Chains A and B, each alone.
Chain A
């Protein structure tokens, strides 16, 4: 199946009833795929409307989502900020493309900051980064479940390569995943009075502190990672999304060359698997950490933020903004490192 077909199937299996979206490469096929699925679909006048329609549907108690990329992802920050403020389970499948501006319609890992911290809030979102078509399916299922269970907006941050890649997939292994049911956020006759603006700084601060507390409480349940051959690694690669898969291959190739490499792959970027990152980075065997990404450091920024002060590691960066990365490039880079 193509990545975009899997995305549509995952949303269907997750119990989504509607999609609102605006065509933008590389996510157009998700919109048209959904439109042909028999489920409710609306092509909107822009991504702003799409995002707010998803919010409205969520408030009305229906699982709804949108898909976008690049400039559309920017426009979605308006609605996703509202979703952050009002704890709405809005779901976005973001297919990263080159940026800034129109960039390319193809691929990048340059929307990490946008997905994690876009808008005028504090990044209390759930952000998932799949490294394969099959993981795309899994994480979309999780996005719907966890956003409804914990009431934070969710972004499945993929890219134009994964969405347009065709791979053999066996979805039957997932047939037993249970769906969290949607909740009626505005029950008839309940008389809800629901603001997102407050009179004083103190009022806002109190609400934010509570939202943060809730967010920190769920981190244990939500944060996910993959540790690959890190126990005795001297070179630790950190990568996410499709580059995570590439980095895994690089680990294999390096090991064959006698270099003890390992991979720490965050699967959730928000909440970031901080504890495990620090755990791994503390291991005495590690001589160098290399952050590998198709951006000028958006993943690295997250890593920096999460590294505890006491953890001292030597960091190197392999950055190719807007460009795909192949495993042999990573291998060459590591071989040339002076350690």
Chain B
């Protein structure tokens, strides 16, 4: 089994945080993981990409051009990953979720938590059960911060 996820968004949206959490979760369940970030020059802004691979075997090469899952979290990122759109098995684009996110009062800076929940569900659906582990790493990271209850809600919303 080799599952490839390409997460893309604006710098500052927490793309790398998401990838880091999933990596840790997968690693804790003895999967082989490969994760490499990809950015532009700027310290802030620009597009932030994370190439994530979860596998039963060691992964030799960190990049791929045909993701199983392509997640697009901003307009600029959509432009940046345009070459991947035709080559992705499934695409999850924020423009399809904006209404739902607004209806449910999801805070813009926490979109990544919502989508983390979504990715956890997708992994479950693909028989890579990591929801417990992902939630556990997320809780360790954000549990002690003031808006944890909110973030928990966003995560659960995404994983529905």
Chain A positions near chain B (C-beta within 8 angstroms) = 197, 199-200, 202
Are B46 and A199 neighbours in the complex by a CB distance under 8 Å?
A: yes
Q: Which 6 A-B pairs have the closest CB atoms?
A: A199-B40, A199-B41, A197-B41, A200-B40, A199-B46, A202-B83
What is the distance, in angstroms, from A284's C-beta to the closest C-beta of chain B? 45
Residues of B within 8 A of A202 (CB): 83
Name B83's closest neighbour in chain A (CB-CB).
A202
Bound form: Cα–Cα A199–B40 in Å = 5
Bound form: Cα–Cα A200–B80 in Å = 9
A-B contact count (CB 8 A): 7
Interface string of B39-67 (1 = CB under 8 A from A): 01100001000000000000000000000
Residues of B within 8 A of A197 (CB): 41
Residues of A within 8 A of B40 (CB): 199-200
B contact residues, total (Cβ < 8 Å): 5
Residues of B within 8 A of A200 (CB): 40, 80
Q: List 7 A-B contacts (CB under 8 A).
A: A197-B41, A199-B40, A199-B41, A199-B46, A200-B40, A200-B80, A202-B83
Bound form: Cα–Cα A202–B83 in Å = 10
- Classify the interface of chain B: helix, strand, loop or mixed: loop
Name B80's closest neighbour in chain A (CB-CB).
A200
Bound form: Cα–Cα A202–B47 in Å = 14
What is the distance, in angstroms, from A209's C-beta to the closest C-beta of chain B? 15
What is the distance, in angstroms, from B40's C-beta to the closest C-beta of chain A? 4
Residues of A within 8 A of B41 (CB): 197, 199
Interface string of B87-112 (1 = CB under 8 A from A): 00000000000000000000000000
Interface centre among A197, A199, A202 (most CB of B within 10 A): A199
What is the distance, in angstroms, from B106's C-beta to the closest C-beta of chain A? 29
Residues of A within 8 A of B83 (CB): 202
Bound form: Cα–Cα A200–B83 in Å = 13
Bound form: Cα–Cα A202–B84 in Å = 13
Name A201's closest neighbour in chain B (CB-CB).
B38
What is the distance, in angstroms, from B60's C-beta to the closest C-beta of chain A? 19
Residues of B within 8 A of A199 (CB): 40-41, 46
Bound form: Cα–Cα A225–B132 in Å = 70
What is the distance, in angstroms, from A28's C-beta to the closest C-beta of chain B? 41
What is the distance, in angstroms, from A193's C-beta to the closest C-beta of chain B? 15
Bound form: Cα–Cα A204–B157 in Å = 40
Bound form: Cα–Cα A200–B46 in Å = 11
Bound form: Cα–Cα A54–B47 in Å = 36
What is the distance, in angstroms, from A102's C-beta to the closest C-beta of chain B? 37
Bound form: Cα–Cα A94–B83 in Å = 44
Name B40's closest neighbour in chain A (CB-CB).
A199
Bound form: Cα–Cα A202–B40 in Å = 12
What is the distance, in angstroms, from A318's C-beta to the closest C-beta of chain B? 43
Residues of A within 8 A of B80 (CB): 200
Bound form: Cα–Cα A202–B41 in Å = 14
Bound form: Cα–Cα A305–B102 in Å = 61
What is the distance, in angstroms, from A115's C-beta to the closest C-beta of chain B? 31
Name A202's closest neighbour in chain B (CB-CB).
B83
Bound form: Cα–Cα A199–B46 in Å = 9
Bound form: Cα–Cα A197–B80 in Å = 17
What is the distance, in angstroms, from B8's C-beta to the closest C-beta of chain A? 12
Bound form: Cα–Cα A330–B99 in Å = 82
Bound form: Cα–Cα A202–B63 in Å = 13
What is the distance, in angstroms, from B39's C-beta to the closest C-beta of chain A? 9
Bound form: Cα–Cα A200–B49 in Å = 11
Bound form: Cα–Cα A200–B47 in Å = 10
Name A197's closest neighbour in chain B (CB-CB).
B41
What is the distance, in angstroms, from A13's C-beta to the closest C-beta of chain B? 44
Name B39's closest neighbour in chain A (CB-CB).
A199
Residues of A within 8 A of B46 (CB): 199
Give chain B interface residues in 114-130, CB to chain A under 8 Å. Answer: none
Bound form: Cα–Cα A199–B41 in Å = 6
Name A199's closest neighbour in chain B (CB-CB).
B40
What is the distance, in angstroms, from A199's C-beta to the closest C-beta of chain B? 4
What is the distance, in angstroms, from B81's C-beta to the closest C-beta of chain A? 11
What is the distance, in angstroms, from B135's C-beta to the closest C-beta of chain A? 34
What is the distance, in angstroms, from A260's C-beta to the closest C-beta of chain B? 52
Bound form: Cα–Cα A116–B32 in Å = 43
